[in-house]
Structure 1
Amino acid sequence: MHAIVMHTPGDPSVLQYVELPKPQLNSSTALLVQLKAAGVNPVDTKIRAKGPMLINTNSPTVLGCDGAGIVTAIGSEVTRFNPGDAVWFCYGGLGGLTGNYADYILIDETIAQPMPHTLDFIHAAAAPLVLITAWEALYDRAQLHSNQTVLIHGGAGGVGHVAIQLACLRGARVATTISNNEKAALVRELGAECVINYRDTDMNTAIAEWTQGRGVDVVLDTIGPEVFRQSIPLVAPYGNLVTILNPGGEFDWIEARVRNLRISLELMLTPQLRTLPDALLAQGRILQHCAQWFDSNQLRIHIAATMPLAEAAAAHQQLEAGGMMGKLVLTPTIANAV
């Protein structure tokens, strides 16, 4: 099979398009999935640049956490799927050969979920990581509920554009930050009420006006340490500030303490990194729930571009350049031949 591999960390040029042996069933509950598409996420570029997150794995590393495809073979004790079933999932890509930048992947049947009926493989492959991240950040960490206000930084990005929709589905009112008119139009379509172009609008003033000086109940930071720091005075007393990135650096926590804020960290990869089967099952239930929303036209995924698997390095360059709306997706050559 074809796959994109990296032997050492580095810039996008370390990604190589090579032939690898096709995986073989290795357990009674395994699925062999022919991948039709693989989502590209910022974590892929970070692993490529810094090295695998999972240690004690054999080189090379196949990247890619998000996948969608067709089950082609099943283990003797598999009960949930049959050959020919369409599945989507977020698993692998953190080290070793288990990753979705490839023609095939082996996963346990507990990891895979039936693909939403209304999605094609490209949209399905783009969705799992950002869905689970946004769900856990808003629903689990921040405990968002109806009639609350939430500020989502980077609302046109991969996690951001999904988070806007999940917040609206929970009955919350949404503010978001963007950088241009095209992104403003997208986030308004998705349900954002207060749209702040941070290039020409003072964020503190905009949030104060929108909330009548109270501050928002929840902030979701998808950008990084400086935005995390700037968000503290935007949160209402007893509110929630959640970041999906390392907040880094030294902060003056006085204002956060005076406001009695709850600070939360969100990393949806923890169940894989710490081998937590129950948490993986919980993430599967998130995908099941979101599949129902897709099939009832209450949820959508915005695709920025689709590129052939062989052009993974170019996809990484495009993602790292910034300014992306929605998600990038890679498609294996074999996907177009079946």
Structure 2
Amino acid sequence: MKAVLMTAPGNPDVLQLQEVPTPSIENDTEILVRLQAAGVNPIDTKLRRRGTFYPDQMPAILGCDGAGVVEAVGSGVQRFRVGDEVYFCQGGLGGKQGNYAQYVVVDERFVAPKPTSLSFVAAAAAPLVLITAWEALCDRGRLQLGQKVLIHAGAGGVGHVAIQLAKLHGATVCTTVSSHEKAAFVHQLGADRAILYKEKDFVQAVLDWSGEGVDLAFDTVGGETFAKTFAAVRVYGDIVTILEPDASTNWKVARNRNLRVSYELMLTPMLQGLVSAQQHQADILNQCRQWFDEGKLKIHLNKIFPLEKAATAHQVLEAGSTMGKIVLVTGSE
């Protein structure tokens, strides 16, 4: 099969299209998937630049997100049959093979049926950002019906699905964006208020909108933005971040407001082999599948590249300011 191999840490040109053996089923609960598309995420570019979590296992095939058709099943597989269409977030961290390839082997427990309303390309764009947003808002942030939520970078990959998930859970949502074009985009997704952070102090804008502060803030930016957000959250409120706080972070406002601070890293179940947590992530995708097919949830595609243009896809993602997701077409869709 053809696959994009990361030959060493470095610039995008370390991603090379090569011919490699097609993987085979080794455990009875595994399925072989003929991939049609693979999502491209910031974790991919970070691992390419600095090295994977398993530097002794090189070269590596990156790509956590995949969508495709079941080609073969293990003897113990119960949920899927040959020909079923699936999507998932598995592999691509440097240990198990990722999805920048034409085939991949995945445990059926960590896979969900593909939404019938989505193309393979759109489905491949969805898993990592959906799981990240759901876990941040619902599992870490304990989102409740009627709460007010601040979502940073609402036009981005995680942000644009976080807005929709928050609304589906009955929240009122404000979000930060960098342009009027992105403001229009997030309003189409259901955001109640878009704050152009380049033109206004977002903390004051949130307080003007929410009164005493939001119940829950979701930080997808990090750095100074994370620390500034403390003042936009009500006393005893929640803030969840997907990034590691800077060592220089001043925690005084968070402490004085008795904020509950949580971290969201959706890769933890894969990295630590937590089977039940990975099954929970597949359950999230299954619920989102229903919402996609009911027209209640959308995934926005920014750019689509053929598999051999993986390096270009990384360059575009690292350039920043994209709305929605970037995807590689790995099959014949």
Q: Which TM-score band applies after superposition, normalised by the shorter structure?
A: over 0.9
Matched with 2:33 is 33
Matches for 1:81-92 after TM superposition, within 5 Å: 81-92=80-91
Do the aligned partners of residues 96 and 5 (structure 1) sit closer, same or farther apart at CA in structure 2, a change above 3 Å counting?
A: farther
Distance 1:256 1:109 in 2: 42
Matched with 1:45 is 45
Which amino acid counterpart does residue 28 of structure 1 have in structure 2?
D
Q: Residues 76-111 of structure 1: CA distance to partner in whole angstroms, max 9, x if unpaired?
A: 121111110000000000004510000000111111
Matched with 1:22 is 22
RMSD of aligned residue pairs (Cα, Å): 1.0
Matched with 2:265 is 267
- 1:6 offset after TM fit, Å? 0.9
Distance 2:16 2:144 in 1: 45
Matched with 1:147 is 146
Matches for 1:103-252 after TM superposition, within 5 Å: 103-212=102-211, 214-252=212-250
Matched with 2:286 is 288
* Cα pair 2:204 2:232 within 8 Å, conserved: no
Distance 1:113 1:208 in 2: 40
Larger deviation: 312-321 or 197-206?
197-206
Distance 2:84 2:124 in 1: 15
Do the aligned partners of residues 97 and 217 (structure 1) sit closer, same or farther apart at CA in structure 2, a change above 3 Å counting?
A: closer
* Cα pair 1:35 1:335 within 8 Å, conserved: no
In the alignment, structure 1 segments of 5+ residues that lack a partner are: none
- 1:75 offset after TM fit, Å? 1.1
Q: Percent of pairs identical after alignment?
A: 54
Larger deviation: 295-304 or 202-211?
202-211
Distance 1:172 1:226 in 2: 26
Which amino acid counterpart does residue 246 of structure 1 have in structure 2?
E
Matched with 2:332 is 335
- 1:181 offset after TM fit, Å? 1.6
Which ranges of 4 or more aligned residues in structure 1 deviate by more than 4 Å?
none
Q: Residues 282-312 of structure 1: CA distance to partner in whole angstroms, max 9, x if unpaired?
A: 1111111111111111100000011101000
3-state secondary structure, aligned to 1:250: coil
* Cα pair 1:238 1:262 within 8 Å, conserved: yes
TM-score with structure 1 length normalisation? 0.96
3-state secondary structure, aligned to 2:246: coil
Which amino acid counterpart does residue 139 of structure 1 have in structure 2?
C
In the alignment, structure 2 segments of 5+ residues that lack a partner are: none
Distance 2:277 2:158 in 1: 20
TM-score with structure 2 length normalisation? 0.98
* Cα pair 2:35 2:102 within 8 Å, conserved: yes
* Cα pair 1:60 1:97 within 8 Å, conserved: no
- 1:172 offset after TM fit, Å? 0.7
- 1:55 offset after TM fit, Å? 5.3
Q: Residues 115-157 of structure 1: CA distance to partner in whole angstroms, max 9, x if unpaired?
A: 1111110111000000000000000111011111111000000
Distance 1:254 1:247 in 2: 14
Larger deviation: 248-257 or 168-177?
248-257
* Cα pair 1:225 1:249 within 8 Å, conserved: no
Across the two proteins, how many residue pairs are aligned to each other? 333
- 1:204 offset after TM fit, Å? 2.1
Q: Residues 233-282 of structure 1: CA distance to partner in whole angstroms, max 9, x if unpaired?
A: 11100000100111122222121111000000000000010110010111
Distance 2:321 2:209 in 1: 26
Distance 2:228 2:314 in 1: 28
Q: Residues 145-193 of structure 1: CA distance to partner in whole angstroms, max 9, x if unpaired?
A: 1111111000000000000001101111101010112111110011111
**2:308 maps to which of 307, 310, 313:** 310
